[in-house]
Amino acid sequence: MDIDKNMTVHYQVTKEEKDLLWNGIFEYNTTIGPMLDYPPYEPFSILIRDDRNEVVAGILTKIYLKCIFVELLWVNDKHRKSGIGSKLLLDVEKTAKEKGCNFIHLDTFSFQAIDFYKKQGYIIFATIEDYPDDNKRYFLKKYL
């Protein structure tokens, strides 16, 4: 990368540096556009453990601009098809409504959980073909 000789390029970043970048973009965004009227990104996560304290499932989300973005939803193989994933999404939807959110959005791949999300009432609003190879990446939303 060609940059000023007084600067250095780093291809690994620490958590603190990532936080600095996120805080920088948020600070900038709050000076322009619709973010002026809304609170900052608010992380919201749920973790489920069994009676041996092992993680069974979890969901990581961010609340922002009157919506929730689901970063990931994971259920341990032994507990898939048990309804835990659906219950996690329902809990997030309940929280989203309580926080005044209008919709939830997420993405998944064709080799992951597209049918699961459609069954939960999510609709596809965009697709990237051949990502990777012959697979697809789906972007879904659900209005509350």
Sorted by where each starts, the structural domains of the chain and their CATH numbers stand as: 40-143 (3.40.630.30)
What per-residue confidence (pLDDT) applies to 10? 87
Question: Over the chain, what is the mean pLDDT?
Answer: 92
Q: Residue 17 corresponds to which tokens in the numbers above?
A: 């540096």
Geometric angle at alpha carbon 93, from 78 and 126, rounded to 5°: 85
C-alpha span between 103 and 28 (Å, rounded): 24
Geometric angle at alpha carbon 104, from 48 and 116, rounded to 5°: 60
C-alpha span between 131 and 86 (Å, rounded): 26
What per-residue confidence (pLDDT) applies to 36? 61
Token look-up 């973790």 returns: 47
Token look-up 């596809």 returns: 124
Do 93 and 67 meet the contact criterion of CB atoms below 8 Å apart? no
Average pLDDT of span 69-88: 96
**Residues above pLDDT 90, as percent of the chain:** 74
C-alpha span between 107 and 69 (Å, rounded): 9
pLDDT in tens, 92-103: 999 999 999 999
pLDDT in tens, 127-136: 999 999 999 9
What per-residue confidence (pLDDT) applies to 25? 83
What per-residue confidence (pLDDT) applies to 105? 98
Phi-psi region of 65 (alpha: psi -120 to 50; beta: other; left: phi over 0): left
